[in-house]
Amino acid sequence: MQRLIEFCAGLIFGLGLLLSGMTDPSKVQAFLDLAGQWDPSLAFVMGGGVLMAMLGFGIAKRKNKSLSGQVFHWPELRHVDRALILGSLIFGIGWGLAGFCPGPALVSMASGEVKAVVFVLAMLSGIVWFDRITRRAQEPLACAKDCP
């Protein structure tokens, strides 16, 4: 049952991305192009999403456990740091260059867009590569000899 609900959440999220226009990079870039022919549609996506999610998190806040009986994994980080800001600034550059963010890129890949496949592969490499260099920076001595 739980897996089915999670599957449905993914499905509804994908349908929302398709319906909203987020899976069309030219539409995303038209939203980001304030100086050109500006398409404000994506502000409505964000508005609708935030409003509805506010309701959902409001309900969750009044409960101790999720419906499946597990604890709520509320995000624990509170501080604003360099990583958060620099990372987000870098993400925005990539988002602007291609018009893809992670969710829509996955959906677009699933609908058979070859360019989206290439984007997703590059994105996954970026994640793995970043993990690798940060892990190496964290434990330079412990694994100086035989790193996996």
Partner 1 sequence: MTIDWLNFTPLSSLAGGLLLGIAASLLFIYSGRILGITGILEGLLPPKLGDTAWRFAFLLGLMVSPLVGQWLLPVDALHAPQIDASWPMLILAGLLVGVGTRWGAGCTSGHGICGLSRLSLRSLIATLSFMATGFLTVFVIRHVL
Task: Show contacts with partner 1 in window 18-47 (CB under 8 A).
Answer: 18-27, 29-30, 32-42, 44-47
Two tokens, residue 50: 């935030």
In whole angstroms, the minimum distance from the beta carbon of 143 to partner 1 comes to 16
Distance CA 107, CA 112 (A): 9
DSSP state of 147: -
Q: Which residue type does 105 have? A: A
| CB closer to partner 1, 58 vs 144 | 58
| CB closer to partner 1, 36 vs 141 | 36
Range 85-114, binding partner 1 (CB under 8 A) = 85-103, 105-113
In whole angstroms, the minimum distance from the beta carbon of 134 to partner 1 comes to 8
In whole angstroms, the minimum distance from the beta carbon of 146 to partner 1 comes to 19
| CB closer to partner 1, 38 vs 146 | 38
Q: Is 48 in the site for partner 1 (CB under 8 A)?
A: yes
Q: Is 8 in the site for partner 1 (CB under 8 A)?
A: yes
Q: Is 80 in the site for partner 1 (CB under 8 A)?
A: yes
| CB closer to partner 1, 74 vs 141 | 74
Q: Which residue type does 108 have? A: S
Q: Which residue type does 91 have? A: F
Which helix (H) or strand (E) segment holds residue 41: the answer is helix 41-61
Two tokens, residue 93: 């550059």
Q: Is 79 in the site for partner 1 (CB under 8 A)?
A: yes
Torsion of CA 96, 97, 98, 103, to 10 degrees: -40
Distant-in-sequence, close-in-space partners of 106: CB < 8 Å, separation ≥ 6: 116, 120
